[in-house]
A and B are shown apart, each in its own frame.
Chain A
């Protein structure tokens, strides 16, 4: 059993945003407050976590069906209603780069991420992810499967600690 410790908000920044010093998902801290604020880049100190991040590579598996939400919530039933399921490699990749990925790979658990609901930050966050992909489509007209997975890895490493469950 994981022990969860929380502490009340205690610090107000010049912009009125509060640093919530609560333990979120056992590992991560985030900033919230007026205007939503922005995610805080937290230094990873744990050797084990550093190693996990170094080794992390986005990948896909093979789903038995296209019901990706069903696939995700079967694995993470307690997150139902708390997260929106997002594809790490975007679904439109199948249209932009025909033949690189199958639908079974696209909707596999390995390609799914949980985005916390009800947080302004999550929406800003998703917007940032879509912009990153949009830029990728512009700069990689003939992206290979590996380049696409590398892009998903890059986004996971940049923003994935805010997903639920955290990635990596």
Chain B
């Protein structure tokens, strides 16, 4: 099966309420606050080493029976300049934290040694059912 290295949209940064151990690489995050500074609309976002997906996309992933991930709660909030940059109100969907538990190149979702997202072809097909316009995709 083919695998792909993904660099999803980075719509913001890890917030102050994130709990992260930076003594290891990639850092281990035990609590995630993702602060969206400017969202271009993709349904999977990254702020290394974390990924969040919309509830819509989480539903598609769950229904597809993919391997190498689990979902967890995350706090996803709008940054103070987000609406100013978007030039209007931003209606944020609900988000789920996509935690990578698999092995890159073996399971449908996995993390490369630097924390980058590696997905199988069938996982990519599912991700493409959501908005994926600002994600860099390379065959691995």
A→B interface (CB under 8 Å): 84-85, 90-92, 95-98, 115, 117-118, 122-124, 126-127, 130-131, 133-135, 137-139, 141-142
Q: Closest B-chain residue to A123, C-beta based?
A: B38
Report chain A residues within 8 Å CB of B26.
138, 141
Report chain B residues within 8 Å CB of A84.
81, 84-85
Q: How far, in whole Å, are A85 and B14 apart by their CA atoms in the complex? A: 18
The count of A-to-B residue pairs whose CB atoms sit within 8 angstroms is: 65
Establish whether residues B47 and A134, one from each chain, have CB atoms under 8 Å apart when the complex forms.
yes
Asked if B92 lies at the interface with its beta carbon under 8 angstroms from chain A, I say no
Q: How far, in whole Å, are A124 and B10 apart by their CA atoms in the complex? A: 11
Q: How far, in whole Å, are A133 and B87 apart by their CA atoms in the complex? A: 24
Establish whether residues A130 and B22, one from each chain, have CB atoms under 8 Å apart when the complex forms.
no
Q: How far, in whole Å, are A130 and B46 apart by their CA atoms in the complex? A: 10
B→A interface (CB under 8 Å): 7, 9-14, 16, 18, 20, 22, 25-27, 37-38, 40, 46-48, 81, 84-87, 114-116, 134, 136
* Contact flag A130-B10 (CB < 8 Å), given A97-B22, A123-B40, A141-B25: yes
Q: Which of A84, A85, A134 has the most CB of B within 10 A?
A: A134
Contact of A134 among B20, B40, B48, B81 (CB under 8 A): B48
Q: How far, in whole Å, are A146 and B37 apart by their CA atoms in the complex? A: 26
Establish whether residues B22 and A127, one from each chain, have CB atoms under 8 Å apart when the complex forms.
no
Q: Closest A-chain residue to B12, C-beta based?
A: A130
Q: How far, in whole Å, are A141 and B49 apart by their CA atoms in the complex? A: 11
Inter-chain pairs besides A90-B13, A95-B20, A130-B37, 15 sampled, C-beta below 8 Å: A84-B84, A84-B85, A92-B47, A98-B22, A122-B85, A123-B38, A123-B86, A126-B37, A126-B38, A127-B40, A127-B134, A130-B11, A131-B10, A134-B7, A142-B25
Q: Closest B-chain residue to A139, C-beta based?
A: B114
Q: How far, in whole Å, are A98 and B48 apart by their CA atoms in the complex? A: 16
Q: Closest B-chain residue to A131, C-beta based?
A: B10
